Structure 1
């Protein structure tokens, strides 16, 4: 299981790098076509917008995995080590619940609705359901990562000698 998650982490990191490179190239071309060529490209703004949505949501899942999100530990820092770990489990469960209900369930409903209605983007004529598929995808990733984080906390709680650092 751990090796599969490591491969998923590596794939997500590389995919995010590719998306970042694509948005840099896209916006660079948009600026060049507008100011150097004099004829702005009609589709680059839409591509940049869609890439930003994908980078934001997948980046949030990656940040959740690497514990890079902003956290307020004002109250938990005063707790004992075991109570901090238990508070972490509660936070992971809340994150799992939010992701499962809003991102996965709500995202699937949104994608289904968009595909049913057949809404397409203005410049690229891409079905918006395909653009929004990243919402449930990011939700699934966050759910997987929350479960793994809970399992890691359980392992730390079962260790006989605890260190005093939270990861």
Structure 2
């Protein structure tokens, strides 16, 4: 069920990536064709990018599409591969807790002092900063879901039949 929720977040993140492409294309046309650059595209594209990355991380974990180094893991026995994947999930979960804690502190600080972006739009900084605790909270819960699945199923998720020679 939770993986379905993170899937919806990933769809929104995909839409944000498309919107970034449209905004940047619009800026290029305005700047180089009409010689009238905009004041909002760069900041909004950055804003969308930050949100898209953090919103999609949990879904990428579920799909096992996060960046990983598999040279050693591919040569492990299924039991060691399971242990390695479980320890990786624990490590990601622990890091997620730290990111959520520090992210909440940063967001609260930004709200209290009224921090804004140093741009013409002067957007409240917490609007981008809050993506960190939200994204890492989603990632933390997804780690728990995936760890439970590992323990229940007794084998690692993903393509375990991949050979080193197939990746060359």
What range is the shorter-chain TM-score in?
0.7 to 0.9
Is residue 107 of structure 2 the alignment partner of residue 111 of structure 1? yes
| TM-score (normalised: structure 2) | 0.84
Shift of 1:13: 2.2
2:166 — aligned with what?
Answer: none
Trace 1:12-161 onto structure 2 (pairs within 5 A). 12-101=9-98, 103-121=99-117, 122-157=119-154
Cα drift, residue 55 of structure 1: 2.0
Change in 2 beyond 3 A, CA 1:67/1:35: same
Q: Cα gap change, 1:8/1:139 in structure 2, threshold over 3 Å: closer, same or farther?
A: same
Runs ≥4 residues deviating over 4 A: none
Instruction: Provide structure 2 residue ranges, at least 5 long, that are not aligned to the other structure.
Output: 163-168
Partner of 1:161: none
Structure 1 gaps, min length 5: 159-163
Cα RMSD, aligned residues only? 2.1
Q: Distance in 2 between matches of 1:156 and 1:61?
A: 20
| SS of the residue 2:47 aligns to | helix
- For residues 4-61 of structure 1, the C-alpha deviation after alignment (integer angstroms, 9 at most, x for no partner) is 3243133112201220121112111111111122111011111111112122222333
Select which of 159, 162, 165 maps to 2:160.
165
Greater shift after overlay, 5-14 or 112-121? 5-14
Q: Which has the higher contact order (CA 8 A, sep 6+)?
A: 2
| Number of residue-to-residue matches in the alignment | 158
Distance 1:65 1:74, change over 3 A: same
Check 1:133–1:91 CA distance in 2 against 1; reply closer, same or farther (3 A cut). Answer: same
Q: What's the TM-score, normalizing by structure 1?
A: 0.85
